[in-house]
């Protein structure tokens, strides 16, 4: 075990056994959000945490939760973690099981799209921790298959996203059913105004662990805006992918568009997977696991992947469509440049997107240079990535050619960093 992990996590009050598990998991020293959140959480205080995506928020609540459960009286389940998406729920379960094994703490996950009977069997194993999406947890509550009598710790992870997804009524019902005597930890990457009511209802005199102001992008991201039109987006995407090395995550607004782009990329030889809410749970898990392991070089997804996508070394995030909600821009680009790494975020901006771009600019508190003279052409200047080498025509695929309405023109691009 590294001396750094022992001294720094130990100074926060983490036991040596859990420090050893952290060291094996590659967590050598605490991040700022972990430094601020772990000590008060270990004391049993409620915590309101806000930090950029990719800064270790999951471990910031899992570590003290494991320590408190290991030291407390037996009686299961004793902790509940609510998450907005299935992907995030499974990611959290992986962290709990990996770190909790050293202290005898185990979990089960309740999400929509999975077998209810299998979930009931998992609950009968009396897990210490339940990780759930709100809708599926309510299903179990109504059927009487989950009880909260021994619950002592509740975590609301990515609470703002749960509100954005319309889970406020479900959250209200769940919170009303929880024991009054409990510890509650609320974590998010942004703190919009509509989160205040949920915080007041669920938290009691919380310690605030605010590492960065709401909606702050990671410092290691280089942002690029391409001014284009809808008819040229796919050609622009193909051109950028030819120039890009490493894993690429492409965001679209709709499931239909994600499927269409996935089919287009597959036809030109790209190793691509598609992830959205319309896919069955096994398909979603296979896409995510294949992307994580490098079997797929490109993942095309809706905003279901903007939270809880724990994949190392995503080099490039491309907003094929700008998000409807400006806060989602921060969550999307938070999939790259994680843990102080470097990454790139590219956004395609059409004339209809000007209002969305201005809203993102207002949220970030920084001017986004979207006008002025164009920079160099986005045409490929390096050798194509392997998946794009075999086109039928020497001129390239038809979608790579300039649109008929603007012969010979390429979309303008403006690069900026902040």
Query: Mind listing the domains of the chain with CATH numbers?
Result: 3-210 (3.40.50.300), 221-417 (3.40.50.300)
Q: What pLDDT shows up at residue 3?
A: 64
Regions in the chain scoring below 50 on pLDDT: 369-384, 386-418
Question: What is the percent of the chain where pLDDT is above 70?
Answer: 81
The string of pLDDT tens digits covering residues 33-70 is 999 999 999 999 999 998 876 778 999 999 999 999 99
Pairing of strands 129-132, 183-188: unpaired
Q: What pLDDT shows up at residue 154?
A: 97
Q: What pLDDT shows up at residue 315?
A: 85
> Cα separations (Å) of 264 from 273, 386, 388?
11, 16, 12
Three-class SS of residue 169? Answer: helix
Contact (Cβ atoms closer than 8 angstroms) between residue 153 and residue 65: yes
- Measured distance CA(25)–CA(20) in Å, rounded: 9
What residue spans of 53-110 are helical by DSSP H?
A: 57-71, 86-100
Question: Which residues touch 375 (CB under 8 Å, ≥6 apart)?
Answer: 412, 413, 414, 415
- Measured distance CA(166)–CA(129) in Å, rounded: 25
The string of pLDDT tens digits covering residues 314-328 is 889 999 999 887 878
Q: What pLDDT shows up at residue 224?
A: 81
Pairing of strands 412-417, 221-227: antiparallel
pTM of the model: 0.69
> Cα separations (Å) of 20 from 4, 84, 166, 250?
11, 30, 40, 37
């Amino acid at each position: 075990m590294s001396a750094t992990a022992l001294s720094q996590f130990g100074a926060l009050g983490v036991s040596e056994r859990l420090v050893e598990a952290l060291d094996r998991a590659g967590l050598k020293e605490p991040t700022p959000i972990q430094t601020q959140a772990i000590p008060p959480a270990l004391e049993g205080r409620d915590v309101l945490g806000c930090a950029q995506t990719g800064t270790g928020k999951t471990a910031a609540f899992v570590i003290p939760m494991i320590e408190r459960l290991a030291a407390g009286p037996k009686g299961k389940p004793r902790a509940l973690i609510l998450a907005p998406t299935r992907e995030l729920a499974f990611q959290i379960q992986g962290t709990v099981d990996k770190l909790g094994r050293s202290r005898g703490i185990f979990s089960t996950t309740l999400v929509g799209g999975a077998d209810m009977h299998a979930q009931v069997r998992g609950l009968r194993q009396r897990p210490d921790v339940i990780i759930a999406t709100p809708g599926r947890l309510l299903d179990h509550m109504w059927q009487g298959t989950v009880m909260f009598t021994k619950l002592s710790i509740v975590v609301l992870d990515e609470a703002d996203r749960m509100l954005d997804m319309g889970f406020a009524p479900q959250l209200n019902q769940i919170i009303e059913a929880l024991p009054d005597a409990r510890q509650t930890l609320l974590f998010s990457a942004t703190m919009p105004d509509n989160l205040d009511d949920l915080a007041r209802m669920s938290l009691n005199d919380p310690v605030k662990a605010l590492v960065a102001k709401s909606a702050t992008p990671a410092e290691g991201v280089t942002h690029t805006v391409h001014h284009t039109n809808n008819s040229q987006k796919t050609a622009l995407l193909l051109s950028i992918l030819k120039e890009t090395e490493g894993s690429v995550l492409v965001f679209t607004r709709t499931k239909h568009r994600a499927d269409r782009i996935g089919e287009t990329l597959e036809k030109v030889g790209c190793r691509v997977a598609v992830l959205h809410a319309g896919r069955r749970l096994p398909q979603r898990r296979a896409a995510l696991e294949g992307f994580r392991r490098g079997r797929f070089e490109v993942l095309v997804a809706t905003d279901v992947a903007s939270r809880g996508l724990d994949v190392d070394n995503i080099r490039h995030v491309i907003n094929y469509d700008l998000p409807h909600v400006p806060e989602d821009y921060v969550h999307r680009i938070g999939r790259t440049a994680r843990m102080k790494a470097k990454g790139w975020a590219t956004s395609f901006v059409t004339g209809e997107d000007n209002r969305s771009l201005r809203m993102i600019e207002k949220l970030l508190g920084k001017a986004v240079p979207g006008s002025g003279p164009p920079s160099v052409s986005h045409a490929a200047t390096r050798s194509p990535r392997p998946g794009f080498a075999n086109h039928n025509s020497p001129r390239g695929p038809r979608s790579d050619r300039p649109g008929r309405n603007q012969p010979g023109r390429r979309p303008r691009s403006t690069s900026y960093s902040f």
